[in-house]
Amino acid sequence: MRHLLSCIAVLAAVAAPVAASAQAATATSFPAKPLRMLVPVPAGGPSDFIARQVAQQLSASLGQVVTVENKPGANGLVAAREALAAPADGHTLLYAPGSMIATPLLARGSGLDWARDLAPLGKVGRVPFALAVHPSVPAQTLAEFVRQARQQPNAFNVATSTPSEVLAAAQFMKAAGIQLTRVPYKGGTQALPDLLAGRVQLMFGPLSLLQGQAKSGALRVLAVLEPERNAALPEVPTMAEAGMGGVAVPTWQGVYTAAKAPEAARGRLAADIAAAVARPEMRSELERRMLAPESATPQDLAQTITRELAVWSALVDEYKLTAD
C-alpha cells in the first residue's frame, strides 16, 4: 500500500508541472488559426454591426482574422448549435443579444443549457429599443393606438424576431389590454421592409434601425423602451411616460465561446474584448449609430445571466411565451 501511495504521489508531482506547462503553451500559442464569430441575426442590423466592430478589433489584437458568419434562425439556436459543434478550442465565438439566453426556455427540448455549455467572455454594447408604427395607423400617440387596438382586436400585426421583441409585444398586450397578431421574422432587417410596406403595422425594434425612417416620415415612433428620452428623437416619450412603464426588455449584447475551451484561451479573448470596447474609435463608431458601448467582465456577465435567466423563466411562464 505504501508503495502504491508513493507511486501516486510521484505521478501527481509529475502531472502538475505538465498541466501547468500545457496551460502556458495554450496561452502563448493561442490563437493558432483564424477565428469565426457566429452571429444569430441577418447581416446589416445593429447587432451585426457591433459584432463586426468587435471582430475587426480582435483581428488586430489577436493577429488572426476573425470572420463574422451570420447564422439566423430559431431564435439563435442555429448559431448556438453550430458554435457548440465546433472544436472547443476558443477559435469559434458566439455573439448573442442578451435576450438569446431565453432561447432554451422558449424552445423546450432544444438541448441547450446556456450556463453549462457556453462561457461568457464579456459584454460589448447595448441596443436601445423603440416602438414604431406604419403611417397608415391613424394613432399619433401610444394612448391613441391602445384605444384603436382595443376597438379592433387582432387587427394590427406586430413584427417580432428576437426574444426581446417577443417579450416586449407580450408585455405591451397585457399592460394595454389589447390583442395583436404576432408575425415572426429572423431579424429586424427582414422585418423592416414589411413594416415600411404596411404588411405589418408595428414593430418593437432597435432605435438605430427605425430612427432614419422616422425622420423621413416613413414610420412613426410612438415611444422608446429606455429609462430616459433619446437625444436623437427628443420629442418621443418613454414607454413609462406614455403610461406603459412595465414594458422593458434586456438589450445588452455579449460574446461567448464553448465552456470547455481552454482557460488560457478564454482569458486572452476576454481581455482583448474588454480592450476593444474601451477603445475610443470603437466607442465613437457605436455612438454614431445610436448604439451604446457597454462592457462587463466574464464574471459579471455570468452573474447577470444567472439573475436574468430566473427573470426570463418567470416571464416565459407568465406570458406563455414560445419560440413560435
122 with 299: CB under 8 angstroms? no
Q: Each residue of 64-94: pLDDT tens digit? A: 999 999 999 988 999 999 999 999 999 999 9
Q: Each residue of 194-223: pLDDT tens digit? A: 999 999 999 999 999 999 999 999 999 999
246 with 116: CB under 8 angstroms? no
Can you read off the three cell numbers belonging to residue 229? 428620452
What element of type H or E holds 126?
A: strand 118-126
Q: What is the mean pLDDT of the chain?
A: 90
Q: Each residue of 223-255: pLDDT tens digit? A: 999 999 998 899 999 999 999 988 988 899 999
Q: Each residue of 18-65: pLDDT tens digit? A: 444 444 445 579 999 999 999 999 999 999 999 999 999 999 999 999
| Ranges in the chain annotated CATH 3.40.190.10 | 129-224
Query: Backbone phi, then psi, for 313, in 5-degree steps?
Result: -60, -45
CATH placement of domain 32-127+251-319: 3.40.190.150
How far is residue 137's CA from residue 186's CA, in Å, rounded to a whole number? Answer: 24
| Ranges in the chain annotated CATH 3.40.190.150 | 32-127+251-319
Q: Each residue of 253-296: pLDDT tens digit? A: 999 999 999 999 999 999 999 999 999 999 999 999 889 999 99
Q: Each residue of 165-198: pLDDT tens digit? A: 998 999 999 999 999 999 999 888 899 999 999 9
CATH T-level topology, domain 129-224: D-Maltodextrin-Binding Protein; domain 2 (3.40.190)
Annotate 50-87 with b (16+ C-beta within 10 A) or e (fewer).
bbbbbbbbbbebbebebebbbbbebbbbbbbbbbbebe
Q: Each residue of 96-129: pLDDT tens digit? A: 999 999 999 988 888 899 989 999 999 999 999 9
